[in-house]
Structure 1
Amino acid sequence: MDNAPLDFAYLDDDNFDYGTPKLPDFDCRSESPADRSQLQRSEPGLPLLQLADWNPNLPYNECPPTCVHYSIVWKLQLKKVRATKLTGDTERNLVLAPGAFWDRTLKSKLEDLLKKNTPPKKCYKPHETNIAVSTQERSETDLSMRFDEWNIVWKDIEDQLRAWSNFFRAGKKLTINISFFCMEETQTIAVSTQSAAGTAAQHVERDDILLQNTIWNDVYALMRCPGHPCKNQGGHCWRNPDSKKHFFLDGQVLTKLVRYAEEGNPLKTHKDVPEFIRELIYAKEQAASERKLKRKGSLCEGGPPIKIVNVLPPHYGQASMGAPPVAPARRPANFSIPNPRDKAIRAYCDWHCRQVDDPEWKQGFQKACAITLREGFDLRHVYQDQDVKIFVTNGVKPGIARSFIDDVEIWVKETKAS
């Protein structure tokens, strides 16, 4: 071994770089977005599987991927004055080419849903299809296309997915958004004519029939129940805009709604249902509930006798034998309501809403406030009459109605103290 002393004279601090050593540049994240995009485009693309290459029993979750994965978000709509959505769904993690998936699965699914979700005496046909193919890569523009009926040129869409396959390989999602529009097939109107043009009276009759059919269809489509959480899927329901509760609609109510719309009244949302029809809906709901209670009571008739003791609250008078029952006494209100009275009702509602966080509770108090103003009550009437029923039958929950009635005196005291 050579033990000669080291010569440090040739070492010069100026020749040393004390910074972090630079590693070889092989990480694409250090490149600019444009360079990275160019690199991705230069890599070989991934294929879309055709039916001959596709195995429905395989999960196709290999890493790295060997084929393009994408999703289809679709909705089926009726095209009228305004489009009405019938149904929709999302098909996730597809590897089968869109054209093959359409022929094998999606087309027949749409035909079945269109038949199931439209009136049996109406015939709806495909009108047009709008498609947008997109990627999460921000530098790329969506591919938007329109086709007549359901005559979709899937090759252009599949070519775009293959062109973006390296974006999928880099973790970007690929999505096809499809809107299928259908229209009612024009029905032949049975109007006898002696000439091709017909008379003016026959044209008016034909237009009236077409208008009535359109209004009827619009009303039934608006009121068709979407299902969950309601169990009336396929039927018709009115959804209370405040409580979101579903109320079943029978033929009588639907006919009244059609007549209301035919008179030129707006009926575009569930908020447009008029008060007199709402009262009919509430009455039918209450009658249905009473029938259920009676049926439950009849099931218990075969059991042992049940002793029922009726205890009346203190404010009920004692009726003499054979005399009609005494009406409940009004609760005294030993306070005065600040004027103006209508403004006091709104302030009282705001006070209740500040006591709760649940949006549904807030809506309940606002509904009670609206009923009080509509019926012309002031807060003394509400407190004295203790009429919970008038609020409950108009869609207010019983607990919220009781709070709205009983807390008037507390609010008055707090208001005067402040």
Structure 2
Amino acid sequence: MIKFVQAGGALQSHDDIPEDIRAQIYAEVQQDVDRRRKRRAPSVSSCPPINITNVLPTQSPQASITQPGGPQPGPVGSGVRKTRLQIPEPLDDAVRSYTDWQQSRFSSISTHMEYQKACRLTLDECLDLELVSERQDVEFYTKNGVKQGVAHRFVRDIELWADQFNDDVV
């Protein structure tokens, strides 16, 4: 980047970084993520098998009747959280770390750019990951130019990231 600036290039924002330099940076980040993942991941053969049985409890007819004026069930995925996210770093830094993590899951530069756009929108509106997770407002991102897939993952995967983040910290 120093050579780029010395040759007369201007670096005023992320958008000014040349594509070849971006690709190098993203490749280095991906290698770092892969190294961490390898260190953390147990050998598949050493893990015992897991059996999962999904059984829904039966409901009595009385329990399924909603009382007038009582609480009404919310829409699926209404975004109401029962527990707070545990993020032991400044909230704006957490948004950046989360964005880096999301970008590490994709190799496409254009997808990385979309995640940067989502990150900027989040920080520009003084939102943090807990607020984004509570609101589940994908439309906020899509209305502001973030592509559908990135908007959905940006809103949906926060708890997954927080769990992994806290596992790495411990």
Q: What TM-score does the superposition give when structure 2 sets the normalisation length?
A: 0.52
Amino acid at match of 1:387: D
Structure 1 gaps of 5+ residues are 1-240, 242-317
Letter in 1 for 2:80: R
Report how far residue 398 of structure 1 moved.
1.1
CA distance in 2, matches of 1:327, 1:414: 28
Return the structure number with greater relative CO, CA threshold 8 A, min gap 6: 2
Deviation by residue 1:315-369 (Cα, 9 ceiling, x = unmatched): xxx8x79xxx997554215332232000110010001111101111111111111
CA–CA distance in structure 2, aligned partners of residues 377 and 338 of structure 1: 16
Distance in structure 1 (CA, Å) of the matches to 2:136 and 2:92: 19
Which residue pairs with 1:306 in the alignment?
none
Contact 2:99 2:119 in 1 (8 A): yes
1:332 partnered with 2:58:
no
Shift of 1:402: 0.8
- Which amino acid counterpart does residue 346 of structure 1 have in structure 2? R
Cα distance in 1 between the residues matched to 2:93 and 2:157: 17
Question: Is 1:394 aligned to residue 116 of structure 2?
Answer: no
Supply the distance in 1 between the matched residues of 2:134 and 2:79 (Cα, whole angstroms).
Answer: 5
Select 1:363's aligned residue among 113, 119, 140: 113
Q: Deviations over 1:352-409 (max 9, x none)?
A: 1111011111111111110000111110111111101110011101111110011111
Q: Take 1:338 and 1:371, find their aligned partners in 2: how far apart are those partners?
A: 22
CA–CA distance in 2 between the matches of 1:382 and 1:333? 14
In structure 2, C-alpha distance between the alignment counterparts of 1:413 and 1:396, rounded to whole Å: 25
Task: Name the residue aligned to 1:38.
Answer: none
Q: Which residue number in structure 1 is paired with residue 58 of structure 2?
A: none
Quote the residue 1:376 is aligned against: 126
* Structure 2 residue 99 is the aligned partner of structure 1 residue 385: no
Does 2:106 correspond to 1:353?
Answer: no
Residue 333 to residue 379, structure 1, CA distance change in 2 (3 Å): farther
| Count, aligned residues | 98
Contact 2:79 2:135 in 1 (8 A): yes
Which structure: greater strand fraction?
Answer: 1
Q: Secondary structure at the match of 2:103?
A: helix
SS at match of 2:163: helix
Give 1 or 2: higher helix fraction: 2
In structure 2, the CA distance between the partners of 1:333 and 1:412, relative to structure 1 (3 Å rule), is farther
Aligned CA distance change for structure 1 residues 332 and 365 (closer, same or farther; 3 Å):
same
Give the Cα–Cα distance (whole angstroms) in 2 for the partners of residues 405 and 390 of structure 1: 10
Matches of residues 140-289 of structure 1 in structure 2 within 5 Å? none
C-alpha distance in 2, partners of 1:327/1:416?
29
- Quote the residue 1:311 is aligned against: none
Q: Hey, which bits of structure 1, 4+ residues long, moved more than 3 A?
A: 325-330
Measured against aligned partners, the alpha-carbon deviations of 1:141-196 in whole angstroms (never above 9, x if no partner) come to xxxxxxxxxxxxxxxxxxxxxxxxxxxxxxxxxxxxxxxxxxxxxxxxxxxxxxxx
Q: Which amino acid counterpart does residue 123 of structure 2 have in structure 1?
A: L
Matched to 1:332, the amino acid is: R
- RMSD (Å), alpha carbons: 2.5
Identify the residue that residue 417 of structure 1 maps to in structure 2: 167
- Mark the structure with the bigger radius of gyration: 1
Distance 1:353 1:392 in 2: 18
* 1:403 is the counterpart of 2:128: no
- Over 3 Å counting, the alpha-carbon distance change for 1:333 and 1:363 in structure 2 is farther
Extract unaligned runs of 5+ from structure 2.
1-14, 16-65
Does the 8 A contact of 1:345 with 1:378 survive in 2?
yes
Rounded to whole Å, the distance in 2 between the matches of 1:350 and 1:385 is 21
Residues 333/374 of structure 1: CA separation in 2 closer, same or farther (3 Å cut): farther
Q: Residues 375 and 414 of structure 1: is their aligned pair in 2 closer, same or farther, counting only changes over 3 Å?
A: same
Same amino acid, percent of matched pairs: 34
